[in-house]
Amino acid sequence: MESKEKTENKPLLDEEQVKYAREIFKGYAEKWKRIGPLFIKAKSEKGIDVKEIQNKILRLKKEKGALILSHNYMLPEIQEIADFIGDSLELAIKAAESPNDLIVFCGVHFMAEGVKVVSPEKIVLLPRLEAGCFMADMINISALRKFKEKYQGLPVVCYINTDAAVKAESDICCTSANAVQIVKSVNSDQVLFIPDRNLGLYVQRFTSQKIIPWDGWCNVHHRFRPEDIQKLREQHPDAVVVVHPECSPEVIDLADHVFSTGGMVRFAKETKHSKIAFATEEGLVERIRRENPEKTILSVGSPKTCVNMKSIRIQDVLTALEEEKYKIDVPEDIIEKARIPLIRMLEISKGRDFVKQIFHRAAL
């Protein structure tokens, strides 16, 4: 996913669903009151012995036969002790492929649910239950049902950044890497796209189908501004600029490339450019910097962090392993229904054999 071509087909933004989304957003302000102080604490906690905690985690992990998965946006000290670092789908696949029955998932709630949906027989621990996702929290089942009622018969494509219950009400899932391919595979000239408005608008550039996006957004990527890119280009005219498709259309218009998180990691490794600026969460920029020491890796604008991701501290990972908390449970009927849009997506993007391997315990 990287071209920025435009179609004349303008997406529909529905006033009523914009209203629902804003109401949900108000609820999020309440949640922020709880998560904000955790984030501030995580940033300011300097007195702890990180190395010692990391060693304890590694010992305990071995004793318990646990697998530690870290999202790209986690704090560096968590990424350092993880068995795998990746995006939500990559991590769910790693969990399914691994022989370990105990998974410590360092990421946000919908991602841990995703691991449970793919591997319901495993114990999935999320070190902080409050670690949600701003975007995923901007839609819920009742809002989605109203949206579907209004546009009866239209298929729902849901971005992977959704709760299991919302996936269970959707027709097919997508990631930022395969969203265009998945939408094009849907046999309908109109498609409901949830919950990221910017990703929906991005997909709209590549298809003549009419996208009707939900009005959600990512609190990290939506904060990049066109001025950030303009300033970066003045200061570093030799840098190539890469942005995430969750950025606004105005930011995408000014970028050289548009890549998902996995695409950014690969691009940084493979490109001949020696100076690259990224508009994405700072944890990923730090990972790319670590993995490409010979290149100059810059952040577009001021570094932007996801407060939910960063609310998980290295001490929380240790406590999660010691006390085996917090166990993620997803009701069986939701697991069954949420698997369907995931399986449909994987069949299209990776093929049926791959799906059989990953969902080896599922009745296909």
Q: Are 293 and 271 in contact (CB under 8 A)?
A: no
Give the binding range for ligand SF4 (CB under 6 A) out of 25-33, 47-55, 301-309, 340-348.
Answer: 301-309
Residues 5, 71: Cα–Cα separation, whole Å: 30
Give the binding range for ligand SF4 (CB under 6 A) out of 186-194, 224-232, 302-310, 338-346.
Answer: 302-310
- Restricting to residues 64-93, name those near ligand SF4 by CB under 6 A: 73
Among 66, 220, 241, 279, binds ligand SF4 (CB under 6 A): 220
Q: How many Å separate Cα 267 from the centre of its chain?
A: 18
Q: How far is the CB of 74 from ligand SF4 (least distance, A)?
A: 11
Identify which of residues 152 and 302 has a Cβ nearer to ligand SF4 in the complex. Answer: 302
- Restricting to residues 107-166, name those near ligand SF4 by CB under 6 A: 108, 133-135, 161
Give the binding range for ligand SF4 (CB under 6 A) out of 150-158, 163-171, 213-221, 288-296.
Answer: 213-221
Segment 80-88 long-range contacts (CB within 8 Å, at least 24 positions apart): 80/54, 81/54, 81/57, 81/314, 81/317, 82/106, 85/287, 86/262, 87/175, 87/260, 87/261, 87/262, 88/114, 88/160, 88/161, 88/175
Q: Does 248 bind ligand SF4 (CB under 6 A)?
A: no
Q: Does 218 bind ligand SF4 (CB under 6 A)?
A: yes
- Restricting to residues 319-358, name those near ligand SF4 by CB under 6 A: none
Q: How far is the CB of 96 from ligand SF4 (least distance, A)?
A: 21
Quick one: angle between helices 141-150 and 15-44, nearest 10? 160
User: Which letter, b or e, does each residue of 269-299 get, where b requires 16 or more Cβ atoms within 10 Å of its Cβ?
Assistant: eeeebeebbbbbbbbbbbbbbeebeebebbb
> Is the omega angle on the peptide bond into residue 155 within 30 degrees of 0, that is, cis?
no
In one-letter notation, the amino acid at residue 154 is L
Identify which of residues 219 and 299 has a Cβ nearer to ligand SF4 in the complex. Answer: 219
Q: How far is the CB of 171 from ligand SF4 (least distance, A)?
A: 21
Residues 279, 222: Cα–Cα separation, whole Å: 10
Residues 167, 156: Cα–Cα separation, whole Å: 9
Identify which of residues 68 and 135 has a Cβ nearer to ligand SF4 in the complex. Answer: 135
Question: How many positions of this chain bind ligand SF4 (CB under 6 A)?
Answer: 13
Give the binding range for ligand SF4 (CB under 6 A) out of 21-29, 146-154, 168-176, 218-226.
Answer: 218-226
Identify which of residues 169 and 196 has a Cβ nearer to ligand SF4 in the complex. Answer: 196
Q: How far is the CB of 291 from ligand SF4 (least distance, A)?
A: 20
Q: Are 100 and 69 in contact (CB under 8 A)?
A: no
Residues 344, 358: Cα–Cα separation, whole Å: 13
Identify which of residues 61 and 244 has a Cβ nearer to ligand SF4 in the complex. Answer: 244
Q: How far is the CB of 119 from ligand SF4 (least distance, A)?
A: 21
Q: What are phi and psi of 45, to 5 degrees?
A: -75, 95
Identify which of residues 73 and 206 has a Cβ nearer to ligand SF4 in the complex. Answer: 73
Q: Does 308 bind ligand SF4 (CB under 6 A)?
A: yes
Identify which of residues 223 and 350 has a Cβ nearer to ligand SF4 in the complex. Answer: 223
Residues 242, 233: Cα–Cα separation, whole Å: 12
What is the edge-to-edge ordering of all strands in the sheet holding 123-125? 84-86, 66-71, 102-106, 123-125
Q: How far is the CB of 300 from ligand SF4 (least distance, A)?
A: 15
Among 309, 330, 335, 338, binds ligand SF4 (CB under 6 A): 309
Residues 169, 141: Cα–Cα separation, whole Å: 7
Positions that interact with ligand SF4 (CB under 6 A): 73, 108, 133-135, 161, 218-220, 281, 306, 308-309
